[in-house]
Structure 1
Amino acid sequence: MTPNLNNSENLFVANLQQVSLEKLVKSKLEVLFLQQKEAQVELNGLYNIVLEQVERPLIELALKAYNGNQVKTALMLGINRNTLKKKIDNYKLKPKKGAAAQVTGMVVPQTIETSPVLTQ
């Protein structure tokens, strides 16, 4: 029996919304801004620091989920393979090919269609 990808996608999107990465990041940033204000220091380059701390593990886990296959990883992330390659190089990641990866709680569908919930 072929799994229903729509149900898998809906489950994945529901899990993503339940975790609420946005709320977690907002909470951490509020603490950071409070500490920065109390210490009376300037924060420079915060955008790039936050972006790297989210983007790097996202790419690492996506690569593991697809056993280092950059084409499939790029499709899943919704970015061009050349963009993914550039990010792999920038973060000095070493995708491992062939080893079966264990990514806790992540379901990797065989095909991916863009979900309107994720693109809004």
Structure 2
Amino acid sequence: MSCVDIFDDRALSLAPAGAQLERLVSGAIWSEGPVWMLEDQSVLWSDIPNNRMLRWHPTEGQSVWRGHVEYANGHYREADGALLHCSHRKRAINGVMRNELYICASTSSYRIRLDTHGIQTP
């Protein structure tokens, strides 16, 4: 892992000695917020400027999991399997359960107007 700087020796126990980093995917402008989906052994993450969530699976490779996600990131899994994420555009915490989208919390009365990376809030 010569391309990784370790600042805390406790991190050395996270990977076996001699482990190598492997690039799984490319093509995203700015990726963040990975979350592991245990039920199908995949990982989801955000490509925020492209307003989409991507998925990687060991046998299926990369795909667009969902588009037009309101510039979501900060993904989190609940114990019941719900996937929560923060919506930059809606200024809300959204959830996905059984493939249905719902809003958990919103700051609709408090609007921040900005144009960052082409993301404009209403």
Tell me whether the two structures share a fold, i.e. TM-score over 0.5. no
Q: Given the two structures, how large is their TM-score scaled by the length of structure 2?
A: 0.24
In the superposition, the TM-score normalised over structure 1's length comes to 0.24
- Larger proportion of strand: 2
Whichever structure has more helix as a proportion of its residues is 1
Higher relative contact order (CA 8 A, sep 6+): 1
